[in-house]
């Protein structure tokens, strides 16, 4: 058999694509259904991915849909010469904005569907992860270092609200900042290992929109074993997806000073700190697909 290697980011992208295909396409939705036994095997849906992230070509195998997601009856390709034969053409917003010249210049075949997608907000809800039952109730808390919190940022903008929050927090606590935005990029191989050494991770979204909860929570925090301090939609929105005791929300505190004081107190109190991992006795995270 074949084994396909993808980075975490590519996995999120690919899972989100499959999710959108399931939720948004019609009449393809009748074919790609939860009752897979009803899918007409004689019909193969041909899917052309116009741009793969960062122009990297994945090792797409013919039965990738079935192997990765249990969805038979589709064939994926990044070969643009298959444009006229494709049932679906999939576009990422960042690859076609702001010029329409990035779109196919040929006339769209009558029955062909085009799917637009953006991983940024505001957007059609595209899940970055979900919780599933933890049947063995086992979990571990990585050993922590002396620095209180880490923040990994690539899209650094001075006018972002999250930037001003971090700068204010730095007046009261230590924060190690990584990522391209600070000239300290972390590779996929070192990301989780680095973050896991910190008691807290600043899972700050670059914009605030309903349901816009990204890999900053799911991968950078939960996967690394650090307690997420979140900034994004309201607490009630986060609690639609994760337990209330699994994160700390910036808006729970009237000031950054009081937030910093609370984080210091929790970090020094082992019993209090462990309470933020109690949810792992019931659940574990799963990155990407929610189909």
- Catalytically active residues are 120
Task: Please give the Cα distance from 192 to 219 (Å, whole number).
Answer: 8
- Tell me the three state secondary structure of residue 287: strand
Our CA dihedral for 234, 235, 240, 241, rounded to 10 degrees, sits at 110
For residue 70, how many other CB atoms are within 10 A of its CB?
10
Give strand ranges (E) for the chain: 45-49, 74-77, 88-92, 113-117, 129-133, 149-152, 175-178, 200-204, 227-231, 248-249, 283-287
With beta carbons less than 8 A apart as the criterion, state whether 115 and 89 touch: yes
User: How far apart, in whole angstroms, are the C-alpha atoms of residue 49 and residue 91?
Assistant: 7
Contact 200, 227 (CB under 8 A): yes
Per-residue three-class SS string for 148-187: CEEEECCCCCCCCHHHHHHHHHCCCCCEEEEEHHHCECCC
Burial label for 208, CB within 10 Å (0-12, 13-18, 19+), is middle
């Amino acid at each position: 058999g074949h084994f396909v290697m993808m980075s975490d980011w590519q996995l999120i992208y690919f899972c989100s694509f499959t999710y959108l295909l399931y939720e948004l396409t019609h009449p393809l939705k009748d074919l790609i259904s939860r009752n897979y036994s009803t899918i007409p095997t004689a019909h193969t849906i041909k899917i052309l991915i116009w741009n793969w992230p960062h122009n990297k070509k994945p090792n797409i195998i013919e039965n990738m849909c079935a192997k990765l997601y249990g969805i038979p009856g589709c064939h994926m390709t990044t070969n643009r010469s298959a444009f006229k034969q494709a049932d679906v053409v999939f576009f990422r917003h960042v690859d076609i904005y702001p010029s329409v010249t990035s779109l196919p210049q040929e006339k769209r075949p009558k029955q062909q569907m085009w799917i637009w997608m953006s991983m940024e907000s505001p957007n059609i809800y595209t899940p970055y992860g979900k919780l599933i039952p933890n049947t063995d109730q086992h979990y571990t808390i990585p050993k922590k270092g002396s620095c209180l919190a880490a923040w990994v940022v690539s899209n650094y903008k001075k006018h972002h609200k999250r930037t001003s929050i971090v700068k204010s927090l730095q007046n009261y606590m230590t924060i190690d900042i990584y990522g391209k935005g600070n000239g300290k990029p972390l590779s996929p191989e070192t990301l989780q290992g680095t973050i896991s050494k910190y008691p807290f991770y600043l899972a700050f979204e670059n914009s605030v929109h309903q349901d816009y909860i990204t890999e900053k929570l799911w991968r950078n925090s939960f996967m690394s074993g650090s307690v997420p301090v979140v900034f994004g939609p309201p607490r009630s929105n986060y609690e639609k997806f994760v337990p209330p005791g699994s994160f700390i929300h910036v808006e729970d505190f009237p000031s950054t000073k009081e937030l910093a004081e609370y984080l210091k107190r929790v970090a020094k109190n082992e019993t209090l700190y462990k309470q933020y991992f109690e949810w792992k006795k019931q659940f574990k995270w799963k990155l990407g697909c929610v189909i």
